[in-house]
Structure 1
């Protein structure tokens, strides 16, 4: 089955086995934080990595129009959901491939103005260097594991990116879990 979620007046189809934030307000909170941090400009080329069903992609595509948004996701079902959810965004493309492989093979192009990534709990690891090589103006990193985020931020730092802001969100009340949104810019 498919679930339908609504965020900021926009509907998203999500496979019943797919991922979506548990708390009803979480998606809106994260979209607002990502958009504020990304500072996308019309005409930008934006990559949304580990994009899932296209939650951030939909709003990033609107913000960068007439530029290009590329949504990348390794899960086949989530990529299909993203394709459906971005069908009304002519400037959006969906790439079904593991992020690391797509970056390594150059399938995402040689440059990006903005990169948004929301990797699994293990973090972005080897993708970090490939992302930095695209020389984006801004990187917005959404993380559910502060330790993996710290490791990856240190790597970004060695590659010439400085931390502009870091926000924590208690989206899982009564637990120790925290969702973080880090914004980086070229130093």
Structure 2
């Protein structure tokens, strides 16, 4: 029914086939290596990673540039996957700063724990983001937040919980501009503003555009 080939930035190539509802690995390793953010990542060939070979570094650079993490600041990486943004922020805030990554997919949680084991101050929480926030498994206050939700967006509940934690800045990575706009409206209704916005053509020859936005409390913008 389908054939998928994964060619990683680490040089691995894995081919899988889908037939009668079953996925079979035809050729290549079960785990692949990706290189991004100055690190090598190991994850299942079927795990989530950006398709465009330059996407991971491009998005990391944008998030770090917009957030401008400072030594000692705490951070949340929500919908954190294998930990790409958590590792990048950790490199800026220093070894003593607290970072919490939340991910619900089992493959992503396992990959994050394996790939970030040299960063003991990064806590990996296996839960849906809305559940982790509602049950206080992720506690504030926090200085910085990276939001990288699925195509449906973070949703008003998550946005309100993030705002309640009082971060100075949120970097929102979005693969759907419409969902992003809905969440930005929720931020705006709570007194936040979209301070910067960048778009990246990470899916050539399609209609899809990746966005990275910087959101800040309106009062913080007025003080600048």
Interval containing the TM-score (normalised by the shorter chain):
over 0.9
* 2:38 is aligned with 1:6: no
Partner secondary structure for residue 121 of structure 1: coil
* 2:58 is aligned with 1:29: yes
TM-score, normalization by structure 2: 0.82
Distance 1:45 1:108 in 2: 12
Distance 2:38 2:102 in 1: 23
- In the TM superposition, 1:117-136 aligns within 5 A as 117-125=147-155, 126-136=157-167
Partner secondary structure for residue 4 of structure 1: strand
Q: Which moved more, 1:168-177 or 1:58-67?
A: 58-67
Question: What is the CA RMSD across the aligned residues, in angstroms?
Answer: 0.9
Corresponding residue for residue 101 of structure 1: 131
Deviations 1:144-183 (A, max 9, x none): 0000000000001111211110100000111110000000
Count the aligned residue pairs.
187
* 2:112 is aligned with 1:82: yes
Corresponding residue for residue 164 of structure 1: 195
Distance 1:3 1:64 in 2: 29
Corresponding residue for residue 80 of structure 2: 51
Give the superposition deviation at 1:8: 3.6
Corresponding residue for residue 221 of structure 2: none
Unaligned runs of 5+ in 1: none
Deviations 1:48-72 (A, max 9, x none): 0000011111111121122111111
Corresponding residue for residue 143 of structure 1: 174
Deviations 1:77-128 (A, max 9, x none): 1011001111111221111110000001111113110000100000000211
Unaligned runs of 5+ in 2: 1-29, 219-224
Corresponding residue for residue 115 of structure 1: 145
Partner secondary structure for residue 47 of structure 1: strand
Partner secondary structure for residue 70 of structure 2: coil
Partner secondary structure for residue 49 of structure 2: coil
Distance 2:37 2:128 in 1: 28
Give the superposition deviation at 1:9: 2.9
Larger radius of gyration: 2
TM-score, normalization by structure 1: 0.97
